[in-house]
Chains A and B, each alone.
Chain A
Amino acid sequence: MSDVRQVSGFGAEGGLGAESTRLPGEAVFRQVVPAGEYWINSVKRDQVLRIVDTEGNQSADTLLFNAADISDRYSAVDTIRAQRNVYLSCGSRLLSTGGNVLAQIVADTVGRHDTLGGACAAESNTVRYALDKRSMHSCRDSWLLAVAQHDHLGLNKRDLSHNINFFMNVPVTPQGGLSFADGLSGPGHYVELQAAMDIIVLISNCPQLNNPCNAYNPTPLEVLIWNPDVR
C-alpha cells in the first residue's frame, strides 16, 4: 500500500475502517481548519486530500468543483444513484452534475458519511430550531464568504449546492424516516479523497451550536495533501 495507485485500487474493494499508510510528514500541505471557518483550495489530479476529524463528531461540509468547468460540480443525487447507496464510504466515486468522476474515497476510518442532510444555514436554523437563531453562524455563511473572498474563481451562491457531510451520520429507515444520529466518527478519524481530475475543494468546518450530534461543541478539522509520487 505504498503508492497512490495501489491505495486507489484497494479503495474500490475496501469497506469499513480502511486505513491509509500515508505519513503526515510526507504531506505537501497541512493546515488546521477551526470550527466556523472555511478552507478552499485546488487539489490536482491524483493528489490525495485527507480530512481529519481531530476531536471527533465534527462535520466537514464539503463541495467539489471541476476546476476546468465550475458548472460541473459535485452532485449528491447523481453520486448516490450511480452507486445505488445513500451512504458514502471507501470506494465511493464522487460524481459531478455532468456525470464525471471528480474524486474517489480511497481511505476511510469511519465507515460511512452523509450526503443527504445538506449544510446548515441561518435560514434553515430558524426552521429547525427557533426563529431567533437567525443570527447564528452557519456553514452556508462560511461558503458565501469563501466564494466572495475568492471571486477570481467565478463561484457565487448558485454554486453552493447539495454537499457531502464527512463524519456525519444520517441514517435512513426503509419506511422513509431520516434522523441525525450520534456520529460514527471519533477523535483522529479521517477520510481520504483522491482527485480524478483537477478540482476545487470547498469545506466549511461546521459551526453548528444547536445540534447534539457534535455535543454542542464544534472542534477543529485538519486537512493534508499528498502528491501522487510521494514515495
Chain B
Amino acid sequence: MTNGGAGTYETSVEGGKHWSFIMRSGMQLRMIDSRGGANVGMLFFNPQNPLERYNAPDTLKCQHTFKLTKGHCLYSDMGRIFCSIVEDSVGWHDTVCGTTTRRLVAERWGERSYQEYRNEWTQNGHDAFLVEGGKYGLGRRDLAANVNWFSKAWVADDGALIFDANNSAAGQFVDLRFEMDSLVLLHTCPHPLNSAGQYPRNPVLLQFSKAQPVQNDDFCLNSRPENARGFANTELYRFGNTGDGR
C-alpha cells in the first residue's frame, strides 16, 4: 500500500486474489482496470448487522436495469443504499452471473495447485468469498449474487446469456461512493463466463478517498425516483449519527 497524499490511499490487487475491508459512509473507492479484461467479484454487508446484505434482484428491479453503470445505486435487502456509482468509464458491470467455483475453474482452465504453483495457483471466486467472509463470521449461507465489476454478459431476445470479452480496456475505472458503512468482500478471480484459453489473471488498482458530500442535484440521487427514496431510507438509518457530518 502507498499513501497517495491528501487523504488518499492506493493499493493494487493482483489477479486471482481476494481481500476485504469496511468502507465508511462518505468514503469513495475508485477501481481501475490496470491491464484490461479485469473482473472484480464483490459482495456488501452491513458490518453492524451482516444479515443486511447486497441484494442484486432488488437493485436491478427498482432501477429497471439488467446492467450496472453510472447513476445506479447498490441496494441492501433492507431498502438502503450501500454505495452509488458516481463515475464509470466502462458502461456495463454484471451482477447476474455469479462467480467461479473450484469445479468450474478446473473444467475450464485446469486446476493449478498451490503446492506446485504457489502464487500462480488458480483461486476461484466462491472459495475467495468464503475465506474473506469467514473473517467476519460469514459462511456458505451468507453468499449471494455478487457484482462482477468490469464484466459484461448481455441477453439476446431468446434469453441467451452472452459474455463480452472486450468490455473493459486498460485504464478504465468505476467510482463507488459509500452511503452507509459497508463490509466489502472482493476477489479478482475471472468472470465465470470468461472463455479465455488461460486462467485470466488481471490486476486492479484501488484508490480510497473521501467523497464529495451528496448535493441536492446529485446524479445518482436524481437518476430515478426510486433512488430518492433509497437515499431517504439510508438517511433515516444514519439519523443521529453525526460522525462525518453527512
Contacts and interface: CB of A to CB of B under 8 A. Distances in A.
A binds B: yes
B192 A162 contact: no
Contact of A81 (B62, B67, B155, B192): B192
B144 A172 contact: no
B230 A77 contact: no
A77 B66 CA distance: 13
Nearest to A174: B154
A25 interface: no
Given A99-B103, A159-B141, A172 B159 contact: yes
Interface string A91-133: 0000001010000000000001000111101111111101100
Interface in A132-168: 140, 157-159, 161-162
Interface string B124-151: 0000000000000001111111100000
Contacts of A122: 79
B66 A178 contact: yes
Interface residues of B, number: 48
Contacts of B142: 158
B139 A71 contact: yes
B55 interface: yes
Given A80-B161, A85-B158, A128-B61, A172 B66 contact: yes
A57 interface: no
Contact of B98 (A78, A119, A172, A179): A78
A118 B55 contact: yes
A127 B66 CA distance: 17
B56 interface: yes
B58 interface: yes
B102 to A, nearest CB: 9
Given A86-B159, A126-B79, A172-B155, A77 B92 contact: no
B196 interface: no
B64 interface: yes
B178 interface: no
A118 to B, nearest CB: 2
Given A161-B144, A162-B144, A124 B79 contact: yes
Contacts of A179: 64
Contacts of A128: 61-62, 226
B79 A123 contact: yes
Contact of B57 (A71, A159, A162): A162
B67 A176 contact: yes
A178 B140 contact: no
B159 to A, nearest CB: 4
A123 B233 contact: yes
A86 B155 contact: yes
A87 interface: yes
B141 A71 contact: yes
Contact of A85 (B77, B104, B159, B230): B159
A84 interface: yes
Given A97-B140, A158-B51, A158-B141, A126 B233 contact: yes
Contacts of A80: 96-97, 161
A121 B146 CA distance: 20
A216 interface: no
B144 A176 contact: no
Interface centre among B55, B58, B101, B146 (most CB of A within 10 A): B58
A127 B61 CA distance: 10
A118 B145 CA distance: 11
Interface in B61-103: 61-62, 64-67, 75, 77-80, 92, 96-99, 101, 103
A45 to B, nearest CB: 22
Contact of A180 (B58, B61, B140): B61
A174 B155 contact: yes
Interface of A: 70-73, 75-78, 80-81, 84-87, 97, 99, 112, 116-119, 121-128, 130-131, 140, 157-159, 161-162, 170, 172-174, 176-180
19 contacts: A75-B98, A77-B97, A81-B97, A81-B193, A85-B159, A86-B96, A118-B58, A118-B61, A119-B57, A123-B77, A124-B58, A127-B58, A127-B229, A130-B229, A140-B77, A162-B56, A178-B61, A178-B64, A178-B66
Interface of B: 51, 55-58, 60-62, 64-67, 75, 77-80, 92, 96-99, 101, 103-104, 139-146, 154-161, 192-193, 226, 229-230, 232-233
